[in-house]
Each structure stands twice: as structure tokens, then as C-alpha cells.
């Protein structure tokens, strides 16, 4: 590991363990978490896109501000530079809102790193906004360029922390991506043990599986919420869905699809059959990480 990588990793670990961030994080969380499960939270989470929306939304301000830096560096048209800067500022609030929604369902180290990510990006945006003000009337004073460059640098730090959240801490990642599903028919429970609409949780090769009889059909899906890993079997089936007890995501028991977020990825679905009164399950999974989770 290079010196830079080692220092960066040390800094990330320090932020993860910085309990001094817990009080401000808790205060902000009290505000953000007032937005409960529902259409607005689904829209900001990215349920309709089947992936988290925040990484997509940030590309607009980042792209605009990188374009600004290029124009500043090459002496490009100051008016175009200011318009790009304005676009970056205009696109930021919705990107921040989607990030806050994702952050509101984190805890501990993830919440601390998320707060640091927010602070770095907000401070960077404030500097960029100051640059926009300083560029009034088509001017490009040196202090405006200094301010936007410093803002972009801070946003780079914020972006790195966002990468740490996703790639090191797994925020936004389908929490079932590394589970190993049963590929052969596997005996899990006696059919007579199933009560209509009441899920049963079983573990098959370390993979939690929810088995339920719903209106006469025996169904099986992953017993781990794809959002942050909540236990889906704790909820009875209502309107054809199980509801995660942690943040309220709802999954259709017939096909695992997301009926309500903040989860954006569907639950894993297993094939079922009944042989001699015993329910058996298996998966037709083909994705490499699930089949070879240690590779």
C-alpha cells in the first residue's frame, strides 16, 4: 500500500471512530428522518431506477464544476463559465436531498463518514457559490477562481468519502450480493408447519431464506432486506408483501419486487416444491458474486 493510500485509509478509520460526530449527526438525523417511507422518499432513494439515485444525481454538479475548472484553466468564455457554475449550484440541492435520505438510514461509522461527506461537500459548495457571486457582470477575478478551485478540491475530498461509504462500508450496495444461494433442491421445512401469511425463517448454507404460504402457494425469498439487511420474516404478509422492520421497505412475496423503498433492489427469489410433505427450495442464480462470494 502506498503512503498516500495508507494515510487515506487511516483518515477514514479515524472518521469512522470519531464519536464526537455522533451528537451533530443525531441532531441532523432527527430532522432528516421526519421524512418517513412513502413516495417522496422512494423517489429520492431511486426505487424507480432500481438503484440508488444519489450517485447519478451528483454527476450533474460535478460535471458542471469540472467544466468550469477547464474553462478557467484555458481562459474560456467567462460568461459560459459562470453559467456552468450556476448549473452546478442549481443541481446540487436535489443531489444533497437524495444523499440525506440515504444517510438517514445509516448508523454508527457509516453515519459518521456520511456526515463528514456532507460537511466537505457543503463547504465546497459554499466556496463555489462565493465564486459565482464574485463573477458578476462577466468578470473573472482571481479570488473567484481561487474560491471555485478550493471548493472543487473540498468536493473531491467529499467524493472520496462518498466512495468510502459505498465501496468500503457498503452503503447503497445490495446486502444480499454476496450470499451463496442453494443451487440444489434443499429440504427446509414441513409443509404442515406453514401457516398462511406467516413467514418462517430458515438458514440454508448460511443463506437466510424466508418461506411462506400465501393464498395456498408456497413461496420462498431471501430473508434479508436488500437495503441494509433487515430480517424480513418478522413481518406477516399483508397485501401480498412483507415489510422490513428496520426502515419500512416492502417486498412482493411472489416475485421479490420492491413495493415501497427505501430499498431499491428486489429480494432474492427461490424456486419451491413440496416432496413427501417437505418444502424444498433452490435458486437459479447465475451471478458470480453470489455463486463465488469469496473469489
41 binds ligand FES (CB under 6 A): no
Q: Of 13 and 169, which CB lies nearer to ligand FES in the complex structure?
A: 169
How far apart are alpha carbons 25 and 118 in whole angstroms? 11
CB 120 within 8 A of CB 58: no
How far apart are alpha carbons 42 and 35 in whole angstroms? 10
Among residues 263, 267, 268, 269, the one that binds ligand FES under rule CB under 6 A: 263
Provide the minimum distance between the beta carbon of 229 and ligand FES in the complex, in angstroms, as a whole number.
6
Contact stretch for ligand FES (CB under 6 A) within 191-199, 206-214, 223-231, 284-292:
223-231
Provide the minimum distance between the beta carbon of 231 and ligand FES in the complex, in angstroms, as a whole number.
9
Count of residues in contact with ligand FES, rule CB under 6 A: 13
Q: Of 46 and 262, which CB lies nearer to ligand FES in the complex structure?
A: 262
Q: Which residues pair with 18 in a beta bridge?
A: none
Sorted by sequence, the CB contacts under 8 Å of residue 132 that are 6+ apart come out as 82, 85, 86, 89
Provide the minimum distance between the beta carbon of 247 and ligand FES in the complex, in angstroms, as a whole number.
3
Among residues 98, 128, 207, 246, the one that binds ligand FES under rule CB under 6 A: 246
113 binds ligand FES (CB under 6 A): no
230 binds ligand FES (CB under 6 A): yes
Contact stretch for ligand FES (CB under 6 A) within 21-29, 130-138, 146-154, 240-248:
240-248
Among residues 16, 102, 105, 252, the one that binds ligand FES under rule CB under 6 A: 105
Q: Cα dist. 13→6, 67, 110, 168, 177 in Å?
A: 11, 32, 11, 11, 24
Residue 133: count of CB within 10 angstroms of its CB: 9
227 binds ligand FES (CB under 6 A): yes
Say how many residues make up the chain: 295
228 binds ligand FES (CB under 6 A): yes
270 binds ligand FES (CB under 6 A): no
Q: Of 238 and 273, which CB lies nearer to ligand FES in the complex structure?
A: 238
Mapping DSSP onto H, E and C, the string for 158-226 reads HHHHHHHHHHHCCCCCCCCCCCCCCCCCEEEEEHHHCECCECEEEEECCEEEEEEEECCEEEEEECCCC
Per DSSP bridges, beta strands 217-222 and 241-243 are unpaired
Residues that bind ligand FES (CB under 6 A): 105, 225, 227-230, 244, 246-249, 262-263
Amino acid at each position: 500500500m502506498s503512503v498516500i493510500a495508507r494515510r487515506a485509509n487511516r483518515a477514514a478509520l479515524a472518521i469512522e471512530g470519531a464519536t464526537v460526530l455522533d451528537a451533530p449527526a443525531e441532531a441532523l438525523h432527527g430532522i432528516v428522518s421526519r421524512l418517513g417511507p412513502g413516495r417522496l422518499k422512494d423517489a429520492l432513494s431511486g426505487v424507480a431506477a432500481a438503484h440508488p439515485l444519489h450517485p447519478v444525481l451528483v454527476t450533474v454538479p460535478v460535471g458542471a464544476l469540472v467544466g468550469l475548472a477547464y474553462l478557467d484553466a484555458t481562459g474560456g468564455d467567462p460568461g459560459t463559465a459562470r453559467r456552468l457554475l450556476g448549473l452546478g449550484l442549481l443541481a446540487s440541492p436535489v443531489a444533497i436531498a437524495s444523499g440525506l435520505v440515504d444517510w438517514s438510514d445509516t448508523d454508527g461509522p457509516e453515519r459518521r463518514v456520511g456526515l463528514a461527506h456532507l460537511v466537505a461537500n457543503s463547504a465546497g459548495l459554499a466556496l463555489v457559490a462565493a465564486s459565482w457571486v464574485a463573477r458578476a457582470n462577466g468578470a473573472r477575478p482571481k479570488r473567484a477562481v481561487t474560491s471555485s478551485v478550493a471548493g472543487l478540491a473540498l468536493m473531491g475530498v467529499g467524493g472520496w468519502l462518498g466512495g468510502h461509504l459505498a465501496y468500503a462500508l457498503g452503503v447503497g450496495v445490495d446486502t444480499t450480493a454476496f450470499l451463496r444461494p442453494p443451487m440444489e433442491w434443499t429440504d427446509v421445512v414441513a409443509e404442515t408447519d406453514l401457516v398462511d401469511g406467516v413467514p418462517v425463517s430458515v438458514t440454508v448454507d448460511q443463506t437466510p431464506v424466508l418461506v411462506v404460504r400465501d393464498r395456498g402457494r408456497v413461496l420462498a425469498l431471501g430473508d434479508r432486506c436488500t437495503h441494509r439487511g433487515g430480517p424480513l420474516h418478522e413481518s406477516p404478509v399483508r397485501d401480498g408483501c412483507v415489510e422490513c422492520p428496520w426502515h419500512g421497505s416492502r417486498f412482493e412475496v411472489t416475485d421479490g419486487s420492491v413495493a415501497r423503498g427505501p430499498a431499491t433492489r428486489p429480494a432474492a427469489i427461490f424456486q419451491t416444491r413440496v416432496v413427501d410433505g417437505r418444502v424444498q427450495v433452490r435458486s437459479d442464480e447465475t451471478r458470480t458474486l453470489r455463486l463465488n462470494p469469496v473469489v
